Chain A
Amino acid sequence: DSGVTQTPKHLITATGQRVTLRCSPRSGDLSVYWYQQSLDQGLQFLIQYYNGEERAKGNILERFSAQQFPDLHSELNLSSLELGDSALYFCASSVGSSSKYNEQFFGPGTRLTVL
């Protein structure tokens, strides 16, 4: 158990819909990262938050957005869903943003299926 929790574990929805994925980081971790794992793209970085502020962006679609709340939990919002958005979405956390030691600890993931 990494200490990172993600809900829900599975999500099935239809094209055009909007969903919210939730992540709680390990106790004491200030950074939260979101990754997408699809069959053809592997693990891809989406976005990072550090202590409530956006710190880095990857190839995140404009239909996707995220935020980190004062209690440090984070939510990833996916809207106007398409079939190609079906993937595993992982959240990871680490102690700091620019720390030399950047071991990221991953949650169990949310499997999103868009029908």
Chain B
Amino acid sequence: DQQVKQNSPSLSVQEGRISILNCDYTNSMFDYFLWYKKYPAEGPTFLISISSIKDKNEDGRFTVFLNKSAKHLSLHIVPSQPGDSAVYFCAASAREYGNKLVFGAGTILRVKS
């Protein structure tokens, strides 16, 4: 039962352009959403998060948008840089479930210079 889905296994973007990574969820109990970036042989690195009471959160080049009615969130990276090339995981949590993270399968982002 995949409660968090990242339907695009990979995305290729030109340096300087916008990268948009998408994530869908099915469980309406989720109240907190996070994006993590992961390089090979390293642990996931926290990028940005958003509470279910907001629809947008911005941190530098990273912006996360949440559409609760559609159960959809997206991560925008502007401008994309070659160092952004990594696997991006969407994760969701709910206080009712003890705040454990439920992860999507990940999207491989390649930023071409």
Chain A positions near chain B (C-beta within 8 angstroms):
2, 4, 6, 31, 33, 35, 42-45, 48, 55-56, 58, 90, 92, 94, 97-109
Contacts and interface: CB of A to CB of B under 8 A. Distances in A.
A58 B100 contact: yes
Given A48-B98, A56-B98, A100-B51, A105 B103 contact: no
Interface of B: 32, 34, 36, 41-46, 49, 51, 89, 93, 95, 97-106
Nearest to A47: B100
Contacts of B42: 108-109
A45 B102 contact: yes
Contacts of B106: 42
Dominant SS among interface residues on chain B: mixed
Contacts of A104: 34, 46, 101
Top 5 nearest A-B pairs (CB, nearest first) are: A56-B98, A106-B43, A43-B103, A45-B100, A102-B99
B77 to A, nearest CB: 19
A90 B41 CA distance: 11
A68 to B, nearest CB: 14
A102 B102 contact: no
Contact of B49 (A42, A58, A103): A103
Given A100-B51, A102-B32, A103-B34, A45 B101 contact: yes
Given A107-B43, A109-B43, 4 more contacts: A44-B103, A90-B43, A90-B44, A102-B49
Nearest to B49: A103
Contacts of A108: 41-43
A109 B39 CA distance: 12
A2 B32 CA distance: 20
Nearest to A96: B99
Given A48-B100, A103-B49, A98 B105 contact: no
